[in-house]
Amino acid sequence: MRKIDLTSFQVATSETARDINRRIVLNLIRSQQPISRADLARNSGLQRSTVSVIAEQLIAERWVTEGANGHTARGRRPRFLHLNKERVGIIGINIRPATTTIALADLDAHFVAQESLPTAGTPQQFIAELVPRIRKLIKMRPEIACEGIGVSLPGRVDLASQRLVFAPNLGWSDFDLKTALEKGTGMSVALENAANSCALAEIWFGRHAHGVRNLVAVTVSEGIGVGMILNHQLVQGATGMAGEFGHTAIVPDGLECRCGNRGCWEVYASNSAAVRYYVEAASTVRTGRNGVRPAGQVPTFDDLMRLTEQGDPKAEVAIRQMADYLGRGIAVLVTGLAPDVIVVIGEITRAWKHIGSVIAEAVKRHSYTRAGTRIVPADPLSQPRLRGTIALVLQKHFGAPSVA
Amino acid sequence: MRKIDLTSFQVATSETARDINRRIVLNLIRSQQPISRADLARNSGLQRSTVSVIAEQLIAERWVTEGANGHTARGRRPRFLHLNKERVGIIGINIRPATTTIALADLDAHFVAQESLPTAGTPQQFIAELVPRIRKLIKMRPEIACEGIGVSLPGRVDLASQRLVFAPNLGWSDFDLKTALEKGTGMSVALENAANSCALAEIWFGRHAHGVRNLVAVTVSEGIGVGMILNHQLVQGATGMAGEFGHTAIVPDGLECRCGNRGCWEVYASNSAAVRYYVEAASTVRTGRNGVRPAGQVPTFDDLMRLTEQGDPKAEVAIRQMADYLGRGIAVLVTGLAPDVIVVIGEITRAWKHIGSVIAEAVKRHSYTRAGTRIVPADPLSQPRLRGTIALVLQKHFGAPSVA
DNA sequence: GCTATTAGTTCGCGACACGAACTAATAGGT
DNA sequence: ACCTATTAGTTCGTGTCGCGAACTAATAGC
């Protein structure tokens, strides 16, 4: 049960009931298509007459199309309704430190076109390079009417002003990316932190059991981000800063983090941490105890993954060390939030067969819960960061109406 | 924006709009009383005619009463509407390890009668002793029609079955307290964990700035509990287990906790921890290094608080040590959840002038956020655990309607 | 071609919010 | 004492909406 916020609420008018039922019907069509009006009535609890009127409206507005007839054992054949995937296109932009991906998606969050460009050093330059590419992408598919742009970025967006506050891995801070992009493209833009985007992608398009109410996404790369869907809703916190569990202490007075504090989770469980573990182990062996490390031999995390797949024991030890710390942090989320599912996103998931059990073991050892939280890797092919940007824009049409 | 849960949603009927607007008006009256129909229309955005109809309905159902006339500079005088506090009574029950408090409250969460009894050793015996006391309390005030019972307890209630799963400090486990109480009293019963109750109490009756969307309650006694209101809504997790941050590791491989894990927050920041710090310091001084502690001298936490107030330096050191660890744990909540406000509940708040700055300093040193989370002590006189039980029952009438 | 069955539509009804027009009440000016 | 401006609150006609009964459409089996 939610408390009504008397500082910002929405009264109901005569059209409110239609808005609510329309969204319910639209969502049922989205998730159960193809489906007949009769089944919609049965599954929603609405009268067949009401469903017919709503369906007519959705067809008139081109959200839904009427397709082939179905079959029944007896009686008149149902006329199937489908979601009209081509109704609107959405531009998704995934900004990462090295590369930015832009894509054009349909209503199913299926990408019909996609390309990448190097991420520029300054936001101004980035905008200058990005806007023409977006324009080109839209022109490539003139038959698709784009209605909005979603952006996922490794940083923080202020909830009230929607300004980019900081993005340490990009080296950007305090920039009005939203307005700049809107002016450049003429389309509305929604920004969101990468971990939050992933959480949205998983709850809207993920293949989890139905009715997942609480889902946590953990993005693991150079840092660690956490996106929380609790009570079916993204948790953004007071200013949009919620989810910085990567910067909570997992080792008191431990190693220094670039955030200025010590012992942060991401210092011990990020990709960089695994590289550090590997280098430390390797240098100890190779150079003895003098501590001098041969220059030019620092591997990338990708190298480490490849070595692990090839059976390199030192690489595997490093990866497992990282996974153990990952599990210790995830145990905090399991114990504190007790979600139905935690989704891990990042290059590390490619080695799930090596680390899945390590994480599970660490979680088991360090958590205290009966929630039965499942911990699963995200399918990297689904491009969660990018796909979340589509959800960000689609929410407007498919999300629950704001009421009271 | 919330995702619609297709496994459990609610379609709108013609009455839905009235339900929504009625709740909005009722909440406006609750928080702004006395208030005229005209002001209600202005503050809600509804038409004066609509407000009049709704007000008439609320008066007919005795939720609202029409009181004295107000004054305006010019024009007809407004007729003030008030919340009818006597409309329903609610029984609140606060179960604590030593003592259980039962109270009868009105709609303002003001307690009109209250009494305590020792908490029995077994749930069966507890029910047998409690039910007659509840009956007596109801009979004492025959003019108040009680409509429900709210229960706050130091343990966990399964979300689906509403059974008490475990309550280590009571020594109870797996008991159907709800059904037992409902059969004994004939009234509907709502159970909730104590920290969650406190969070509800603070969001419904607390004196925080208006429009607080995210609030976290931290209860500190023999253990540590966390109740989270995020997006105006209690976070219960998959099975009702959310909030066990007290059992997340703050020291890796630290002291053993009764939960079976090591280094849990509550091992370092609960009342018992402060007592341990004090005893350790005292025994070191008094008995030297042989480690033998004089028997019969273990103080209670209350003793410690009294000593601190009297200026005992060793007691103050122990309390400050506890406060530092409390702050380290709160820093996790600040960083991870970025709430508007964190409310600390427990005996420790009586020493806020000693520990407030210690907590603030620890939070500042160990957190990473721009949320500007305020950390405040709860007023112990407001009896947050007990008051939350009233919110638990009132939500049904004053909470946002469940829609879509 | 008849019957049972299922899909989908039509239409009258009641609930609801809106908003314009109306009545009620009051202070201040003349 | 009366008029005017102003504010509070009510009345009533209108349009939107979902309900549910009655109706039409289509199909398989006999």
Q: How far is the CA of A42 from the C1' of D22 (A)?
A: 20
**Residue B293 pLDDT exceeds 50:** no
Q: Collect all residues with Cβ–Cβ distance below 8 Å to A310 and sequence separation of at least 6.
A: none
Q: Which long-range contacts (CB under 8 A, 24 or more apart) does A274-277 make?
A: A274/A301, A274/A304, A274/A318, A274/A319, A274/A321, A274/A322, A274/A348, A275/A299, A275/A300, A275/A301, A275/A304, A275/A318, A277/A317, A277/A318, A277/A321, A277/A322
Q: Look up residue A270 and give its amino acid.
A: S
pLDDT band at B112 (very low <50, low <70, confident <90, very high): very high
Q: How far apart, in whole angstroms, are the C-alpha atoms of residue B228 and residue A337?
A: 9
My answer on whether omega of the bond before B377 falls inside 30° of 0, hence cis, is no
* Residue labelled with tokens 């409110």: A16
Indicate the Cα dihedral angle B238, B241, B247, B248, nearest 10°: 20
State whether the beta carbon of B55 lies below 7 angstroms from any atom of strand D.
Answer: yes
Mean pLDDT for B94-120 is: 94
* pTM given for the model: 0.93
**Cβ contact B11–A21 (<8 Å):** yes
- Partners of A165 on chain B (C-beta within 8 Å) are 370
Q: Which residues of chain B have a CB within 8 Å of the CB of A243? A: 336, 338
B306-336 in b/e form (b: 16+ CB < 10 A) is ebbeeebebbbebbbbbbbbbbbbbbbbbbb
Torsions phi, psi for A202 (to 5 deg): -70, -40
pLDDT of residue B280: 86
DSSP H or E segment with residue A94: strand A89-95
- B169 is near strand C: CB distance < 7 Å: no
- pLDDT value at residue B162: 97
As a rounded value in angstroms, the CA-to-C1' distance for B41 and C30 is 35
- What integer best gives the mean pLDDT of chain B? 93
Q: The tokens 């349909």 sit on which residue?
A: A106
Instruction: Confirm whether any atom of chain D, the nucleic acid strand, is less than 7 Å from CB of B68.
Output: no
pLDDT digits (tens, 9 = 90+) for B145-177: 999 999 999 999 999 999 999 999 999 999 999
Taking only Cα atoms into account, the Rg of chain B, rounded to an integer number of angstroms, comes to: 24
Alpha-carbon distance of B358 to B320, in angstroms, equals 7
Q: In whole angstroms, give the CA distance from residue B320 to residue B351.
A: 10
* A381 CB-to-strand C distance under 7 Å: no
How many angstroms separate the CA of residue B198 from the nearest CA in chain A? Answer: 15
Q: Which residues of A touch B226 (CB under 8 A)?
A: 336
State the CB neighbour count (10 A cutoff) for residue A259. Answer: 17
| Interface contacts (A, B; CB < 8 Å) | 279
Whether residue A335 contacts residue B242, with contact meaning beta carbons closer than 8 Å, is answered with: no
Query: What span, in angstroms and rounded, lies between the C-alpha atoms of B362 and A345?
Result: 31
Q: Are A262 and A235 in contact (CB under 8 A)?
A: no
What pLDDT does A82 receive? 95
CA neighbor of B245 nearest in space, from B267, B212, B230, B214: B267
Name the amino acid, one letter, at A319. I
Would you write out chain A's pLDDT as a tens digit for each of its 404 residues?
999 999 999 999 999 999 999 999 999 999 998 999 999 999 999 999 999 999 999 999 999 999 888 888 888 999 999 999 989 999 999 999 999 999 999 999 999 999 999 999 999 999 999 999 999 999 999 889 999 999 999 999 999 999 999 999 999 989 999 999 999 999 999 999 999 999 999 999 998 878 899 999 999 999 999 999 999 999 999 999 999 999 999 999 999 999 999 999 999 999 999 999 999 887 765 544 444 444 457 889 999 999 999 989 999 999 999 999 999 999 999 999 999 999 999 999 999 999 999 999 999 999 998 889 999 999 999 999 999 999 999 999 999 999 99
Question: How far apart (Å, rounded) are the C-alpha atoms in residues B123 and B176?
Answer: 9
Mutate: best of A39, A335, A390, A398, partner B, most B CBs <10 A = A335
Tokens of A308: 């692990």
pLDDT attached to residue A285 = 54
Verify if strand C has an atom below 7 Å from the CB of A60: no
Our measurement of the distance from residue B284's CA atom to the centroid of its chain's CA atoms, rounded to an integer in Å, reads 39
Alpha carbons A112 and B247: distance in angstroms, whole number: 47
Give A67 to chain B, closest Cα distance, Å. Answer: 23
Q: What is the per-residue pLDDT across B209-260, written as a single tens digit (0 to 9) for each?
A: 788 999 999 999 999 999 999 999 999 999 999 999 999 999 999 999 999 9
Quick check: B286 pLDDT over 70? no
Which nt has its C1' nearest the CA of B71?
Answer: C26
- DSSP per-residue letters across B323-335: HHHHHHHHHHHHH
**Range B117-133 average pLDDT:** 94
Nearest CA in chain A to B228: A337
Residue B285's pLDDT band (cuts 50, 70, 90): low
Is B214 within 8 Å of A45 when comparing Cβ atoms? no
- Distance (Å, rounded) from C-alpha A371 to C-alpha A90? 36
Which residue is it, tokens 């009680």?
B146
Nearest chain A residue to B248 by CA distance is A332
Give yes or no for CB of B77 within 7 Å of strand C: yes
Task: Work out if B211's Cβ lies within 7 angstroms of strand C.
Answer: no
At A284 the pLDDT is 61
Q: For the residues of A300-368, what is the DSSP string, one character each?
A: PHHHHHHHHHTT-HHHHHHHHHHHHHHHHHHHHHHHHH--SEEEEEEGGGGGHHHHHHHHHHHHHHH--
Q: What is the DSSP string of B58-118?
A: HHHTTSEEEEEE---SSSSPPEEEEE-TTS-EEEEEEE-SSEEEEEEE-TTS-EEEEEEEE
**Rounded-to-integer distance, Cα B82 and Cα B28, Å:** 10
Q: Which residues contact A261 (CB under 8 A, 6 or more apart)?
A: A247, A249, B365, B366, B367, B368
- Straight-line distance from CA A10 to C1' D18, in Å? 21
